[in-house]
Structure 1
Amino acid sequence: MNTIALYPGTFDPITNGHYDIIERAKKMFDHVVVAVAVSVDKKPMFTLEERIQMAEAATAHLEGVSVVGFDNLTIELANEHNAKVLIRGLRAVSDFEYELQLGYLNNSLDDTIETVYLMPKLKHAFVSSSIVRNLLKFNGKTEHLLPPEVQKIIGSMNSCTLQ
């Protein structure tokens, strides 16, 4: 049986913590769909197309990983891709309550889809997209927080677009 997992998020931008979870999820499931949310409410720094491009670049060498953009319910997207598992990342205890509520909500919408929570390796536990965005606004060092392919894409962007 081909088990498909969906890893939804804003990925603004995709970080080493996200990448770590994707790599580990790929060892557990046959295929991982990285689902980049439009997330207008979060007012992302990068466009949906840029975030998709970064996620594709970071995961291009991983067999069995694909990237899609979406603007609908996560459960609907999971059903569109025949995914029976949702991947969610937990960095800290503070993430747990929100993620638990989200998992229960998704289960109430479709109880055939399981949510699996993965923690990034300790060295990535402090990394978040919001930390990276704050560093980028002030031209701070981000090489240690981002996959090299993502760092290259961001580095090639005009610094004016990152404000």
Structure 2
Amino acid sequence: MRRAVCSGSFDPVTNGHIDIFERASAMFDEVIICVFHNVKKQAFFPVEERVRFLREATRHLSNVRVASFSGLITDYMKEADAHIIVRGVRSVKDLEYEQNEAYMIRHLEPDIDTIFLLTRPEYSFVSSSGIRELIRFHGDVHGLVPACVAQAIENLEQERK
């Protein structure tokens, strides 16, 4: 079985992420979306809520499942018996960062490969950090995030009033 992992903090998941998951699901027998707790970032949504968003936004993909993990990606890859990581790349800056991450992973586990998928142009400006900024300043996120995330953001806005 060809199994791949798409890992990230997904705080929140965007339509750009969903596009990468859809394309990866067409390439592999199984795709695991793994939500990692990123110690470098202050989380906006709790891990459990991000997992829920991802499950709802990918339920149309029968070969995709969602998990969460805290630790090294290489440890998760062993646990999941997976050898391919799929990463979306929006820009040269993203590629440089992801390339260094892939080299470190390869150093730790030589049998793990990383595949980069270029983001579609219509999502090249969309990032989770950009979405969080829109949320903070009450910007419109519709069309940039899955409907379940947009609804959760609307609910937050209502609670703030």
Relative to the length of structure 2, the TM-score reads 0.94
RMSD (Å) for aligned C-alpha atoms: 1.4
Which residue of the partner structure matches residue 107 of structure 2? Answer: 108
1:19 aligns with 2:18: yes
| Paired residue type of 2:29 | D
Query: Can you list the C-alpha shifts for 1:49-88, whole angstroms capped at 9, x where unaligned?
Result: 1111111111112111011111010011011111110011
Conserved 8 A contact 1:75-1:109: yes
Query: Can you list the C-alpha shifts for 1:14-47, whole angstroms capped at 9, x where unaligned?
Result: 0011000000000111111001011132001111
| Paired residue type of 1:47 | P
1:1-163 alignment, distance < 5 Å: 2-157=1-156
SS of the residue 1:26 aligns to: helix
Measured after TM superposition, the shift of residue 159 of structure 1 is 5.2
CA distance in 2, matches of 1:36, 1:70: 6
Measured after TM superposition, the shift of residue 144 of structure 1 is 1.3
Relative to the length of structure 1, the TM-score reads 0.93
Measured after TM superposition, the shift of residue 119 of structure 1 is 1.3
Per mean C-alpha deviation after superposition, the further-off stretch among 147-156 and 34-43 is 147-156
CA distance in 1, matches of 2:92, 2:158: 34
Structure 1 gap segments, 5+ residues each: none
Query: Can you list the C-alpha shifts for 1:119-161, whole angstroms capped at 9, x where unaligned?
Result: 1211011100011000011111001100122222332335557
CA distance in 2, matches of 1:4, 1:154: 32
Conserved 8 A contact 1:38-1:71: yes
Query: Can you list the C-alpha shifts for 1:97-123, whole angstroms capped at 9, x where unaligned?
Result: 111110000001111111000112110
CA distance in 1, matches of 2:148, 2:27: 24
SS of the residue 2:40 aligns to: helix
Conserved 8 A contact 1:57-1:150: no
CA distance in 2, matches of 1:154, 1:80: 33
SS of the residue 2:145 aligns to: coil
CA distance in 1, matches of 2:148, 2:159: 20
CA distance in 1, matches of 2:44, 2:148: 18
Question: Could you say if the C-alpha distance between residues 37 and 160 of structure 1 is closer, same or farther in structure 2, counting changes exceeding 3 Å?
Answer: farther
Structure 2 gap segments, 5+ residues each: none
SS of the residue 2:142 aligns to: coil
